């Protein structure tokens, strides 16, 4: 997956709290905290997990911690003909906006 600076983006304020999106962070990041309806597919696994993508009527939102990794994934998905958008600011922006988060482990959900 190559980096591409001009990928479509969506602001966290434009996403509902229960948005279905693909979280491409690593397992430790996911366990610490993620959006409640997110689907976990680490960036390196995306090419082999295309059938697991939660494709719907609109563009597929893709998120990471800050937007860098997810931007690369969105660029690659676009090359595959999949309508996808990068969540601007990633989970850091999601958390800052006060959007709901859940953790897989003990303790409060947080972005690491």
Q: pLDDT of 14-73, one tens digit each? A: 999 999 999 999 999 999 999 999 999 999 999 999 999 999 889 999 999 999 999 999
Mean pLDDT value across residues 70-88: 97
pLDDT-derived band at 1 (thresholds 50, 70, 90) equals low
pLDDT at 4: 55
Rounded distance, CA 85 to CA 77, Å? 9
Structural tokens at position 80:
């595959």
pTM equals 0.94
Token pair recorded at residue 25? 């962070």
Q: Is 9 helix (H, G, I), strand (E, B) or coil?
A: strand
């Amino acid at each position: 997956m190559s980096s591409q600076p001009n990928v479509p983006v969506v602001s966290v304020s434009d996403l509902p709290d229960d948005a279905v999106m693909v979280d491409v962070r690593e397992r430790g990041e996911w366990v610490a905290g993620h959006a409640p309806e997110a689907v976990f597919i680490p960036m390196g696994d995306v090419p082999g997990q295309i059938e697991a993508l939660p494709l719907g009527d609109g563009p597929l939102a893709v998120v990471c911690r800050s937007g860098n990794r997810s931007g690369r994934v969105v660029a690659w998905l676009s090359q595959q003909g999949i309508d996808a958008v990068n969540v601007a600011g990633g989970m850091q922006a999601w958390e800052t906006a006060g959007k709901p988060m859940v953790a897989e482990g003990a303790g409060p959900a947080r972005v690491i």
